[in-house]
Amino acid sequence: MYQLLNLINNLENVLGKTVGVESISLRISNNPKFDFQINNLVKLQNHKHIKDIESSFSEIIDNEALIKSFEITDTYFINLEIDIEKFSNSFDKIKKYIKVRHPKTVLIDYGGPNIGKPLHVGHLRSLNIGKSLYRIYSLAGHSVISDIHMGDWGMPIAQIITYIEEKQIDIENINIDDLEKIYPEASKLYLKDDEFKDLAQANNKRLNENNSKILKKWKKLKNISIKSIKETLDALNHRFDLWMGESDVNHLIPEMIQKLESEGKISLDDGAYISNLVSEPKILITKSDGSYLYLTTDLATVLNRLKQNKIDKTLYIVDKRQNLHFEQLIKSLNYFDFGDEEYHHIAFGTINDSNGNPYKTREGDAKKLINLFKETSLQIKKINSDLDDGTNKLLANTVLTFSDLKTNRMTDYKFDLNKFTNTSGKTGIYVQYAFVRAKKLLNGSSINTSKINLNIADLDESDLSLIRGMIKFEYYFNLALENNEPHHLADYLYELSNLFNSMYQNQNILENKKETVKFNKLKISEFFISYSALLMECLGIEPVEKM
RNA sequence: GCUCUCGUAGCUCAAAUGGAUAGAGCAACAGACUUCUAAUCUGUAGGUUAUAGGUUCGAGUCCUAUCGAGAGCGCCA
């Protein structure tokens, strides 16, 4: 809460002198008459100096210009009412207020798609959460780099190449549809045919060793796959700064292994390298034939990134089932002394169908993302067939993003297209509609709102509710940033949209006889538009111009 | 078998570091459109937070046990 930072610092000083270092955090007040609350004193209610602390707090809060009124209850909950007049002047400065004091370089790793497999429903959350965190960190002033981190290496691709070789498929004329059919066939064969398995293992080793003949085939397949992935990403409005893959760090691995061994950090066990860090289960670094694993390339990827950029913090946006892998990765990065940078596994739950089972097609495959997009787009056409394609696309993506981000990322949720495209309720369409409504109102008014100042005395209940809703922006923004949880902002965007709709519905604004009332409402609508746009930016949603 | 996560209104989900009376949306019910506005708004009802104990000024949140669900577990990524 940048605007109340002085207040917070002063209160923290009091605590520091009396009961020890403790940070003050504001929360939304339980009491609807107030905006924020401070709970730090509640647990001190039996402290021998509580009366002194209370009076120091009172004095400090009393002197804070942004606080209009406050109360300290008999159990020492502190409630604060913000002075709307002083705070409202700052609405248009919100972008400055949310900047952090110490910007960092943050890398977002999407734990990307594999070669040979189309983008499917399983990739949706990684894309949405990653994009949202990218925007949130950027708005907070960090410098952010996104890396799709393609799964372009290892056994899956070796299986595909082996399958193509064995079935004598013409690799020159292969297309994406062929490739997508080959992948499941190859992995099926790998599981049941030992001879095929040996051939694939051998091919994988050749890949690791940079065998030029197999690299040529690999390159061909990778290009086909990337082209298809880019088409889907384009439909869904996603872009990446880096298109690195696991293959890009292959050359760093032999040296890395050698160094770790000479440092006594890893040792051979049944021919495979395992970490000497005591851990259960043991951490496997390479396979017994010397070829590399998921963890091997992820470790080398970190080395590669640190070599190329100064990175303070890395976020891995990967589903929660891979928890053990990232636990092992982060443990290993520490144990191997790769640096003191931060690494976080931003885990998320799975998307299920309405019965709670993994979201699949009738054939039992994961549903393709591009098909999900098309179905959503079609559903929106049913609601309004007059929309141009551009608007339809934005709305379809709004639905796929908002419905995903409104749930806490760790929760598995049920995908229900009918529900998510509902025009009323907590949906993407609803928040877009409120935005369009506000814009239409201002455009129809022919009044220059930028020159209007609020007339506080003439604000009615619905105006005040919306203004006091907007005061919470910094709170929710921080919550999302600190915890890497975009859903707080999705929920908040709905709350503001709902408050706007209430105000709007309440009375006819443009025909209001009293000019100050009319101007107030137009000014508040202008604020709402900028807040709504900013929240959509945080979520990775583009506002539409008409609906 | 071991490890981890989860169980909140009929349904789908919220509730940061333990804080006051556990909140939204959908569905249900009752209302509001010759309008800048219905792709909307207003109201009502809906809960022993799986169960039983414990920790403390205070527990959906922490601990223990039971029941139920899901995931992961050295040569896939």
Q: Which residues pair with residue A273 across a beta bridge? A: A268
pLDDT of residue A536: 98
A478 nearest nucleotide via C1' and CA? B16
Separation of A138 CA and B54 C1' (Å) = 46
- Which helix (H) or strand (E) segment holds residue A503: the answer is helix A487-506
Separation of A20 CA and B61 C1' (Å) = 25
**pLDDT band at residue A47, thresholds of 50, 70 and 90?**
confident
Separation of A274 CA and B62 C1' (Å) = 36
Separation of A352 CA and B66 C1' (Å) = 29
**pLDDT band at residue A88, thresholds of 50, 70 and 90?**
confident
pLDDT tens for A374-408 read 999 999 999 999 999 999 999 999 999 999 999 99
How far apart are the C-alpha atoms of A315 and A138, rounded to whole Å? 14
Q: Is the pLDDT of residue A361 over 80?
A: no
Report residues 57-86 of A contacting strand B, contact meaning Cβ closer than 7 Å: 73, 75, 77, 79
Measured CA distances, A316 to A129, A344, A406, A505 (Å): 11, 6, 20, 43
Q: Tell me, what amino acid is at A96?
A: K
Average pLDDT over residues A119-126: 94
State the nearest residue by CA to the C1' of B33. Answer: A505
A325 nearest nucleotide via C1' and CA? B72
State the nearest residue by CA to the C1' of B22. Answer: A30
Average pLDDT over residues A71-95: 90
Report residues 382-421 of A contacting strand B, contact meaning Cβ closer than 7 Å: 383-384, 387, 395, 406-408, 410-414, 416, 419
Average pLDDT over residues A414-442: 94
Determine whether the distance from the CB of A231 to the nearest atom of strand B is below 7 Å.
no
Separation of A503 CA and B72 C1' (Å) = 50
How far apart are the C-alpha atoms of A180 and A159, rounded to whole Å? 13
**pLDDT band at residue A365, thresholds of 50, 70 and 90?**
confident
Choose between A511 and A136: higher pLDDT: A136
**pLDDT band at residue A484, thresholds of 50, 70 and 90?**
very high
pLDDT of residue A357: 79
Local structure of A247: helix, strand or coil: helix
Choose between A111 and A19: higher pLDDT: A111
Q: Which residues contact A242 (CB under 8 A, 6 or more apart)?
A: A145, A146, A147, A148
A190 nearest nucleotide via C1' and CA? B76
Q: Report chain A's mean pLDDT, rounded to a whole number.
A: 93
pLDDT tens for A152-172 read 998 999 999 999 999 999 999
Separation of A244 CA and B15 C1' (Å) = 39
Enter the tokens of residue A2: 């940048």
- Comparing A2-11, A62-71, A245-254, the range with the smallest average pLDDT is A2-11
pLDDT of residue A5: 87
Nearest alpha carbon to residue A107 among A340, A325, A310: A310
Enter the tokens of residue A384: 């309004």
pLDDT of residue A447: 85
Report residues 306-325 of A contacting strand B, contact meaning Cβ closer than 7 Å: 320-325
pLDDT of residue A259: 97
Q: What percent of chain A has pLDDT over 70?
A: 99
E runs forming strands in A32-133: 36-38, 67-72, 78-82, 105-109
Determine whether the distance from the CB of A508 to the nearest atom of strand B is below 7 Å.
yes
How far apart are the C-alpha atoms of A455 and A470, rounded to whole Å? 17
Q: Is the pLDDT of residue A304 over 90?
A: yes
Determine whether the distance from the CB of A430 to the nearest atom of strand B is below 7 Å.
yes
Q: Is the pLDDT of residue A1 over 70?
A: no
Separation of A480 CA and B52 C1' (Å) = 36
Determine whether the distance from the CB of A26 to the nearest atom of strand B is below 7 Å.
yes
For strand B, which nucleotides have at least one atom less than 7 Å from a protein CB? 4-6, 12-17, 19-21, 24-27, 35-42, 57-58, 70-77
Separation of A462 CA and B20 C1' (Å) = 26
Percentage helix, strand, coil for chain A under 3-state DSSP, each rounded to 5: 55, 10, 35
Report residues 267-296 of A contacting strand B, contact meaning Cβ closer than 7 Å: 269-272, 274, 281-282, 284, 287-289, 292-294
Average pLDDT over residues A496-502: 97
Backbone angles phi, psi at A345, to 5 degrees: -90, 110
Total-model pTM: 0.95
How far apart are the C-alpha atoms of A426 and A437, rounded to whole Å? 17
pLDDT of residue A356: 77
Q: Is the pLDDT of residue A147 over 70?
A: yes
Determine whether the distance from the CB of A116 to the nearest atom of strand B is below 7 Å.
no
Choose between A448 and A503: higher pLDDT: A503
Separation of A453 CA and B13 C1' (Å) = 39
Determine whether the distance from the CB of A14 to the nearest atom of strand B is below 7 Å.
no
Contact A134, A127 (CB under 8 A): no
Instruction: Give ipTM to 2 decimals.
Output: 0.95
**pLDDT band at residue A3, thresholds of 50, 70 and 90?**
confident
pLDDT of residue A46: 84
| Half-sphere exposure at residue A341, Cβ-oriented, CA atoms within 13 angstroms | 23
Local structure of A263: helix, strand or coil: coil
Q: Is the pLDDT of residue A366 over 90?
A: no
Determine whether the distance from the CB of A528 to the nearest atom of strand B is below 7 Å.
no
